[in-house]
Amino acid sequence: MLLAPDHITEEGEFIINMGPQHPATHGVLHLKIWLDGETIKKIEPQLGYIHRSIEKMCESLSYRQFIYVTSRMDYLSAHMNNQACALAVEKGLQIEATPRAQAIRVLLGELTRLSSHLLWWASTGLDLGGITPFFYAFRERETINTILEETCGTRLTQNFIVPGGVMYDIHPDFQKKVKDLIKQFRANYHEYDEILTGNVIFQNRLKGVGYISKEDAISYGCTGPTARASGISCDIRKLAPYDGYDKLKFDEVILSGGDCWARYQVRMAEIIQSLNILEQLIDNIPEGDFLAKTKNVVKLNKGDIYQRVETARGELGVYIVSDGAATPYRCKFRSPNFSNLSAIPHIAKGAKIGDLMAIMATVDLVIPDIDR
């Protein structure tokens, strides 16, 4: 942490900078913090260090191309970002992906969610002072990434979705390996609870810290696990089901604690729900084509399209305005992290500087998704 040049205000408050290069911000996030002793008086996020103007870029890319730029927004939910764009284009064309493609999308999406939650769990432990969780979480995450690599060819930014379906069929070993993963995960899950969840020091760092009420969470536009920990029902998979989520049985995890501990518990419970979804679907992938027939040049009718998808961090909205040409006239991504970040100055007000790490860790920000 570096002292700003004008680091003491007239009221005797200390101004410090956290980031842009700070291990606990998980990326190039810069927070300007006003401190009274150790108590946070005010936070002002300074953004733009990784701004690439993806929305402007999309205006010159075709409806087939712009899908893949979005992998670089929330890179831990890359598959779901692609899914949102493809669904938006499909909505404009009034077609649907084939049943087989929908099942593959959901399976890969839930694998991505698991891998994202595992990285979050690992880094939460790391942020709060324990390095061991990293090794435990990466054991399972490595298995997931290998499965993704075999089918998609890449481990992180899958780029596997095209309008109307997916690019290729699944790898012949896919089903067997996912079943093995579910078995391995369920057998190892108690270790996660033993090493971190049940740890008294860890619990004390989270319980009662970083509280946000239901009304404030709605007003700040929080979504995803951050909002569900405050008692808001906002899972898009339930609210506006897509790609066959309405046929699957799973629970939306809602807690009312509103603090870091509740946010931690929501994500841990979501891991189990994702495993349930995988289990239901893995033996029931419909036969048939994995790609519906579409025209080579995709053109959408004049008008607006809004498509929502639940990523690992919350609600991603893709808003496309078409003027009838082969490229979007305007493309807006309503990213979950952008709105969740806007709540952090409110959550952290009055907290101690050491607790800011716990707040940042449990809100689980991915910075490229904020800056876009």
Q: Is 325 in the site for other proteins (CB under 8 A)?
A: no
If binding is defined by CB under 8 A, does position 204 make contact with other proteins? no
Return the residue of 95, 321, 352, 353 that touches other proteins, per CB under 8 A: 321
What DSSP assignment string belongs to 254-303? --S--SHHHHHHHHHHHHHHHHHHHHHHHT-PPPS-SB----SS--PPSE
Residue selected from 39, 188, 219, 256 as contacting other proteins according to rule CB under 8 A: 219
Q: Does 304 bind other proteins (CB under 8 A)?
A: yes
| CA-closest candidate to residue 96, choices 293, 319, 325, 309 | 293
Query: Which residue type does 316 have?
Result: L
The CB-of-332 to other proteins minimum distance in angstroms stands at 4
Considering the rule CB under 8 A, would residue 56 count as an interface residue with other proteins?
yes
Residue 165 CB partners (closer than 8 Å, separation 6+) = 97, 98, 100, 101, 289, 290, 291, 292
Q: For other proteins, which is the closer residue by CB, 91 or 179? A: 91
- Residue range at the interface with other proteins (CB under 8 A); choices 12-20, 145-153, 214-222, 241-249: 214-222
Q: How far is the CB of 121 from other proteins (least distance, A)?
A: 27
Assess 9 for contact with other proteins (CB under 8 A): no
Residue closer to other proteins (CB basis): 21 or 233: 233
Cα gap 200→207, rounded to integer Å: 10
User: Contact between 346 and other proteins (CB under 8 A)?
Assistant: yes
Contact 80, 109 (CB under 8 A): yes
Helix 99-127 and helix 260-282, axial crossing angle in degrees, nearest 10:
150
Is the distance from CB of 99 to CB of 73 less than 8 angstroms?
Answer: no
Q: Quick one: CA dihedral 257, 262, 265, 270, positive or negative? A: positive
Q: With binding defined as CB under 8 A, does residue 55 bind other proteins?
A: yes
64 binds other proteins (CB under 8 A): no
Q: How far apart are alpha carbons 346 and 364 in whole angstroms?
A: 16
Stretch of 175-183, 289-297, 303-311, 350-358 lying at the interface with other proteins (CB under 8 A): 303-311
The tokens of 146 are what? 């290998």
Binding region for other proteins (CB under 8 A): 47-48, 51, 53, 55-56, 60-61, 91, 216, 218-221, 223, 232-234, 239, 303-306, 315, 317, 319, 321, 329-330, 332, 334, 338-339, 341-342, 346, 371
